[in-house]
Amino acid sequence: MSETLKLARDLISRPSVTPEDEGCQSLMMDRLKALDFEREPMNFGDTQNFWARRGEQAPVFCFAGHTDVVPPGPDAAWDSPPFEPTVVEGMLYGRGAADMKGSLAAMITATEAFVKKHPDHKGSIAYLITSDEEGPATHGTVKVIETLEARNEKIDWCLVGEPSSTNKLADVVKNGRRGSHGCRLVVKGVQGHVAYPHLAKNPVHEALPALAELVATEWDQGNRFFPPTTFQISNIHAGTGATNVIPGDLEVLFNFRFSTETTHKALEQQVEAILDRHGLEYDIEWTLSGPPFLTAEGDLLDAAQQAIQDVMGYRTKLSTSGGTSDGRFIAPTGAQVLEMGPLNATIHKVNECVAVADLDNLSRIYFRLMELLLT
């Protein structure tokens, strides 16, 4: 059993459902202590985080990730208990195997091998680890970054261990992510009896033309890195449950996934202009989960592509698809940010799993990446 597999099993066995950590970070910090890392717990609210660094000089290469996992659901739905890591036919099963305890294990073993071979490496190696990525993400990476920024401690290159691969290990590297901007819209009407519509004002009827226009709007055309911005209605609610009552208001939840061709403020202005043009009376509440980010070029991207070629023997594909990640909090500091990890086919699913061979190869890729950047 490889060291990467051993550590991945140890991490998976800890039921760290967000925002719990269950000792995962202590385990990682103990391994880093043996490598002469300075370790700094940074806990905020109910969230455990840590920042660790080996070296005092720039450039700073940082591994970023999370120890928390999503709830596994009923144990009976799994072929083996979700927090009892099990290897079957070369696959490691357990909640967090792919997202992202396998990556965390590969980071640690790669760092151990790298420091052993290159104890006097240039620059610094750092870790930014949180237990609040799968949850609200309000007391995790964003707070650590705020702390680092306040003391002017900068990350130059950041590798986030999110599961980026599609069909085979490292066939896809995420060099950016779309922004996410959510909204709660309440269209106001006047409640009344359906038999007397002239005495009421139906907010559903009032809002439908505006909603149809929002759905049909082309927000931008994207660019060579990003697809066009998308608008999706996720929830609609109105009424009392009775068929003979005109509702007094209509609640609509929707979300933008937006490219670098626009901004969240521009989207807000466009939406509100459409609502106003249709003469609606409304309240609106916006929630920005994160702006888009992009690492279009640079030393980190070059090194990642070369490391994958050296270890796996093929070129990787760049992508900005998928949801958000904690990279959205790190990129605005000026850091080059990439996401590279295992296959994402089973993440958040029952029987989440990762190939044992992929864990070892991922450790080798991370090792080679550090060699290219720090030697």
Q: How far apart are CA 153 and CA 28, in angstroms?
A: 22
Backbone angles phi, psi at 302, to 5 degrees: -60, -45
DSSP state of 116: H
From the list 158, 153, 183, 11, the residue with the least C-alpha distance to 96 is 11
Exactly one of 20, 22, 68, 132 is catalytic; name it: 68
Q: What are the DSSP calls for 294-360, one per residue?
A: E--SSHHHHHHHHHHHHHHSS--EEE--SS--THHHHGGGT-EEEE--SB-TTTTSTT-EEEHHHHH
From the list 279, 277, 205, the residue with the least C-alpha distance to 247 is 205
Query: Any catalytic annotation for residue 68?
Result: yes
CB 177 within 8 A of CB 227: no
Query: Any catalytic annotation for residue 132?
Result: no
Q: How far apart are CA 27 and CA 43, in angstroms?
A: 16
Q: How far apart are CA 117 and CA 64, in angstroms?
A: 22
Radius of gyration, alpha carbons of the chain: 24
Exactly one of 133, 134, 156, 358 is catalytic; name it: 133
Distance of CA 293 to the CA centre of its chain: 12
Strands 317-319, 172-174: pairing is parallel
7-29: b or e for each residue (b if 16 or more CB lie within 10 Å)? bbbebbbbebbbbbbbbbbebbb
DSSP state of 96: T
Does residue 340 have a cis peptide bond before it, meaning omega lies within 30 degrees of 0? no
Which residues does the annotation mark as catalytic? 68, 133
